[in-house]
Structure 1
Amino acid sequence: MKYSEIVELSTEDLTAKLKEEKAALNKLKFAHAVSALENPNVLRAARKNIARISTEVSKRNNEAKNQTAAEA
C-alpha cells in the first residue's frame, strides 16, 4: 500500500486496516515457521505497510491533540 493511498483513508479505516495488516503478518510468520515461504520478502513488505499505517495514525492523533490544546 502506498503512502498516498494511506493518507486518503479516514482514521477509522486506518485503524481497521492496521488490525488487518497485523493479523496478516502473524499468519505469514506462522506459515514461514511451518514451511519456508516462496518469497520471504513478503514479510518485510508487510512490516513496512504496518509501519506506514502506524505512522499516519500517530500523526493524526498528535494533530488532534495539538488542536485541542490550542483551543483551550
Structure 2
Amino acid sequence: MNEMSVEDIKAQIAQEKDNYAKLKVSHKVSQLESPLSIRASRKTIARLSTVLNQKLAQQ
C-alpha cells in the first residue's frame, strides 16, 4: 500500500467503499456466508485512509 500513488489510493478507497456498501445491503437482505467480510472491508478502508493521510502529510 505504501508504494501506491495518491490517485491509486483514492481510487482503491472508492472501490472498497462501494464494495462495503454492497456488503451491507446484501447482509440486510439476506444473511451473508461470512459476516466478518464486512469488518474486513471496513478495516481495509481505514488502512488505506491512514496511508493516504500519511502521504498527504509528507507533501
Q: TM-score normalised to the size of structure 1?
A: 0.79
Percent identical residues? 42
Which of 3, 8, 16 is residue 8 of structure 1 equivalent to? 3
Which has more helix, going by share of residues?
1
- Unmatched 5+ stretches in structure 2: none
Name the residue aligned to 1:42. Answer: 37
Q: TM-score normalised to the size of structure 2?
A: 0.95
Written as runs of structure 1 = structure 2, the 5 A alignment for 1:1-72 is 6-64=1-59
Greater Rg by CA? 1
Higher RCO structure (Cα 8 Å, ≥6 apart): 2
- Unmatched 5+ stretches in structure 1: 1-5, 65-72
Question: 1 CA distance for matches of 2:57 and 2:4?
Answer: 17
